[in-house]
């Protein structure tokens, strides 16, 4: 079974305005940062295969590099999300999985 564009977009929409980067106490939502779709594309196969775990979430966030300073540096997405944001993301993904698979 392969995810349709609509499936990815639905998951991305849930992520877009609920999960944010915390930079110097500023909240930049993943939708505004245009990171919600790439993140949904990475998580959807884990949800589909029922292999989402906290360790898998950490791995995806660590592997996803975010350019900062006009690309002068790259930081793992994990370093830019607050701990509560990671928990919220895991809960969001688990809820999506429960409702859609």
- Domain range holding 27? 5-100
What average pLDDT does the segment 9-38 reach? 97
> At 68, phi and psi to the nearest 5?
-130, 160
Judge whether residue 1 has pLDDT over 70.
Answer: no
Give dist(CA 43, CA 93) in Å, integer: 8
The band of 2, judged by pLDDT with boundaries at 50, 70 and 90, is low
Write down the pLDDT at residue 21: 97
Cα 63 to Cα 78: distance, rounded to the nearest angstrom: 8
Q: Check pLDDT > 80 for residue 9.
A: yes
Cβ distance 101 to 19 under 8 Å?
no
- Count structural domains, the chain: 1
pLDDT tens string 34-56: 999 999 999 999 999 999 999 99
Give Rg (Cα) of the chain.
13
Query: pLDDT tens digits, residue range 74-92?
Result: 999 999 999 999 999 999 9
For residue 57, pLDDT beyond 60:
yes
Q: What angle do CA 95, 100, 101 make, to 5 degrees?
A: 105
- The phi-psi region of residue 63 (left if phi > 0; otherwise alpha if psi is between -120 and 50; otherwise beta) is alpha
């Amino acid at each position: 079974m392969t995810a349709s564009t609509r499936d990815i977009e639905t998951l991305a929409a849930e992520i877009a305005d609920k999960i944010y980067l915390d930079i110097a106490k500023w909240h930049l939502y993943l939708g505004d940062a245009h990171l919600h779709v790439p993140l949904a594309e990475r998580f959807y196969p884990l949800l589909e295969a029922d292999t989402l775990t906290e360790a898998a979430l950490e791995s995806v966030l660590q592997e996803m590099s975010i350019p900062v300073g006009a690309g002068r540096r790259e930081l793992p997405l994990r370093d830019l999300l607050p701990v509560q944001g990671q928990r919220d993301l895991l809960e969001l993904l688990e809820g999506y999985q429960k409702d859609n698979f």
